[in-house]
Structure 1
């Protein structure tokens, strides 16, 4: 059962990044990748047109959703860790599927995709740096929306189920764990994955610890359901 909708909303000092999904895009003094804040307008439109949930304004699900969206913007596009407002710099860690937690510094170095995707026959983080990984997936799926489906507990330990989805508009081209080039042709496939996250927050609603569980291979199975891309791999 979801937590009461008004728990977090009743807090008097909820930060802007929990009220507005684009709050950190206004941080003009931050150091941004490509020298300026990214444009999320297409992703936000796609989200509003295809989301499953309509959260009540100020509700706990909406606040959690906004927090995570702003965290993703910072992790993907702010190049100076001191500019990240959504995390506790002293304690933040991130872990996927009970693997060893990584630090914010590690995520800043390798990128969000490389921090969450496990090596497989389609992709291997060891063969793709931050810039290459983002180019691979953002080119393939220009709008990759994210939403909270259910919230099961409120701060300071927030557990929630989420959905991440988009349309495969362009071909996927990556390098797998054998060092082979893999190409998957775009056919407008819908990529739709779900997972569960537990976020620990401090008294200022900054993230101190993120633990996420999901099957990263599910994205590749939906991209290439019959496995034909692997059979055509060229080294």
Structure 2
């Protein structure tokens, strides 16, 4: 199986350790993963803001960069959701039948990390060890657009030493929402503050999620309140082995 990593813009620019964790994890499971260097933004910010025509070159670049792979894996429900649902809209609007056909090939083969682990590889115990109390935030796109359901929890429950505690009002949005956080900053911060408060109520040491953008938002609020709670991407927890902190 030819597998490629779609690292995402946020991880590439701000959280490179997340992408490295995905590679370590997949290689430990016997998957030889490539990193196509031609990859850029998937185009989601443009589509979400209504600039579908401006997203056409990015969608075209995506299908070219990941052409021929059996699976494209990304540590982001948000970006996976964009590829699987928004790329078709952009391609059809472009009127280019070649782009429509290419998107029809690549989109269904793009998986959020937990989907790939559970549905494609058929594993929930990835051999991880993480002796900490953890709470999990299901991000909006992974929950509602992709429907990853309990896949992340099943993976976390199989991690040695990990104690998973429920997050109150877990399915509520954290308030980030990409450009929403810029256009509606006060509302975004208020939503994030609610999420951070619920995280503190759990007594967890670590907040885990599948999107670095949401972790960046909530993590900033947790840091400002000096909560002592750190945030980690799910990939980093699943890549951890005995001896890691």
Is TM more than 0.5 here? no
Question: Normalized against structure 2, the TM-score is what?
Answer: 0.27
Question: Normalized against structure 1, the TM-score is what?
Answer: 0.27
